[in-house]
Amino acid sequence: MTARLVVVTLTLSIVLALPAAQAKTPLATGTGGAVATISEQASQSAMTILNKGGNAVDAAVAAAATLGVTDPFSCGIGGGGFMVIYLARDKRVITIDHREMAPASFTPAVFQDQRKAIDFDTAVASGAAVGVPGTVRGWHEALERYGSMSFKQVMAPAIHVAEQGFKVTGIFNHLVTQNETKFQRFSSTSALYLKDGKALPVGALLRNPDLAKAYRALAAGGQRAFYAGPMAQAMITTVNRPPVTGAAVRAGNMTLADLANYEARIRQPVHSTYRGYDVYGMAEPSSGGVAVAEALNILEGYDLKSMPRVDVEHLYLEASRLAFADRNAYLADPEFVDAPVVGLLSKPFAAQRRALIDARRAASIAAAGDPYTFQDDQSVPLRPAAASLPREGAHTTHFTVADKDGNIVSYTFTIESWGGSGIVVPGYGFLLNNEMTDFDFTGPRPNVPEAGKRPRSSMAPTIVLKGGKPAFTIGSPGGATIITTVLQSIVNYVDLGMPMHAAIDAPRLSQRNNAATSVEPGFPGSAQAQALAAFGHKWEAAPEEIGAANALVFNADGTVTAVSESRRHGGGAALVQRAAH
Catalytic residues: 396
Helix (H) or strand (E) holding 211: helix 209-221
Contact 299, 491 (CB under 8 A): yes
Contact 34, 402 (CB under 8 A): yes
Contact 393, 412 (CB under 8 A): no
Question: Distance of CA 491 to CAs 206, 488, 497, Å?
Answer: 40, 5, 8
Name the residue among 357, 324, 354 with its Cα closest to residue 514.
324
From CA 422, how far away is CA 243, in angstroms rounded?
A: 11
Name the residue among 344, 68, 318 with its Cα closest to residue 208.
68
From CA 495, how far away is CA 184, in angstroms rounded?
A: 47
DSSP 8-state code for residue 389? -
By the 10 Å C-beta count (0-12 exposed, 13-18 middle, 19+ buried), 53 is classed as middle
From CA 458, how far away is CA 284, in angstroms rounded?
A: 9
Name the residue among 35, 26, 14 with its Cα closest to residue 402.
35
Question: Distance of CA 466 to CAs 84, 136, 263, 469, 554, Å?
Answer: 17, 33, 33, 5, 10
Helix (H) or strand (E) holding 64: helix 56-70
